[in-house]
């Protein structure tokens, strides 16, 4: 054999690189995808970038992942890892729902543009079903009629995703417009609204203060509060006859911030 002969110049060297020390797995691919997502953003997240992040050929990914869509789906279900929803507690369903919502938003914020990936994720896949069941359980434990519990899931989850998506789009615009900090961006926006012609946009101008003086967190919490109060108005007072009776049908009194 001529193994030890110098490689002929026109042939590519036989053993080119170190042979993939660590084996490629779906998990490593998802990890790399998150690294790329955080560094480059949703628009630049592609199979080539993920492969480059792993130091691997693009086509190698397709042995473990059937398409970009599936990769995104894997990223989506990754969002639910280690998410422990509490045992439904009839007495504290409001707090449990509020905390679920805040957790959801926090998880969406853990990675840049994550809301873009979350939208379009299948909410009833095998991995996410347990969480959907749990949140429905919390609603039902709270006394929501079944048909309201179903709609409650729609309202809550569209709000969480939609709010986070809007935040991530503002963040993108901020980045693209060269504004360095959120405070700077917010000031720019507030000025924009304040300088609108008040005769044509009286309400926007009037609200420009309150809309921007509160943080996004406050606005999110308020949105959740609105939804929870609306849900509470449907709670059937089936029993709970005696002490500690909560409010009437349409307007519950208050709750913990």
- One character per residue 99-118, x = contact with DNA (rule: CB under 7 A): --------------------
Which partner from the list DNA, a second copy, none does 228 bind, CB cut-off 5 to 8 Å by kind?
A: a second copy
Residues 69-88 that bind DNA (CB under 7 A): 69
DSSP assigned state of 104: H
Q: Does 16 bind DNA (CB under 7 A)?
A: yes
Q: Does 9 bind DNA (CB under 7 A)?
A: no
Contact with a second copy (CB under 8 A): which of 57, 125, 162, 177?
Answer: 162
Contact with a second copy (CB under 8 A): which of 25, 177, 201, 217?
Answer: 201
Q: What residues contact 179, with CB distance under 8 A and at least 6 apart?
A: 185, 188
Q: Does 45 bind a second copy (CB under 8 A)?
A: no
Considering the complex, what minimum distance in angstroms separates the CB of residue 222 from a second copy? 4
Pairs from 166-175 (Cβ < 8 Å, separation ≥ 24): 167/109, 167/115, 167/216, 168/108, 168/112, 168/113, 168/114, 168/115, 168/116, 171/112, 172/41, 172/113
Helix axes 146-176, 182-194, angle to 10 degrees: 100
45 or 228: CB nearest DNA:
45
Identify which range of 65-73, 102-110, 177-185, 222-230 contacts DNA by CB under 7 A.
65-73
Residues 209-238 that bind a second copy (CB under 8 A): 210-211, 214, 219, 222-223, 225-234
Q: Does 24 bind DNA (CB under 7 A)?
A: yes
Identify which range of 63-71, 104-112, 146-154, 204-212 contacts DNA by CB under 7 A.
63-71
Identify which range of 55-63, 114-122, 193-201, 244-252 contacts DNA by CB under 7 A.
55-63
Terminal C-alpha separation, the chain: 79
Identify which range of 14-22, 32-40, 54-62, 135-143 contacts a second copy by CB under 8 A.
135-143
Count of positions (residues) in the chain: 257
């Amino acid at each position: 054999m001529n193994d030890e002969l110098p490689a002929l110049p026109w042939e590519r060297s036989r053993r080119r690189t170190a042979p993939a020390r660590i084996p490629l797995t779906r998990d490593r691919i998802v990890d790399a995808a998150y690294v790329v997502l955080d560094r480059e953003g949703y628009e630049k997240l592609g199979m080539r970038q993920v492969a480059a992040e792993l130091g691997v050929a693009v086509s190698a990914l397709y042995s473990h992942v059937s398409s970009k869509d599936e990769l995104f789906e894997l990223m989506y279900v990754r969002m639910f890892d280690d998410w422990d929803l509490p045992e439904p507690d009839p007495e504290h369903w409001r707090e449990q729902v509020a905390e679920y919502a805040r957790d959801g938003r926090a998880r969406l914020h853990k990675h840049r543009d994550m809301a873009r990936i979350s939208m379009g994720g299948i909410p009833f896949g095998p991995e996410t079903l347990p969480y959907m069941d749990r949140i429905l359980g919390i609603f039902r434990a709270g006394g929501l009629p079944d048909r309201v519990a179903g709609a409650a899931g729609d309202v809550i989850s569209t709000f969480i995703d939609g709010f986070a998506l809007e935040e991530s789009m503002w963040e993108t615009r901020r980045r693209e417009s060269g504004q360095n900090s959120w405070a700077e961006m917010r000031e720019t926006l507030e000025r924009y609204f304040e300088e609108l012609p008040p005769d044509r946009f009286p309400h926007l101008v009037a609200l420009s203060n309150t809309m921007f003086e509160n943080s996004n967190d406050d606005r999110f919490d308020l949105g959740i509060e609105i939804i929870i109060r609306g849900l509470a108005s449907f709670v059937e007072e089936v029993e709970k006859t005696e002490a500690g009776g909560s409010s009437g049908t349409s307007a519950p009194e208050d709750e913990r911030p």
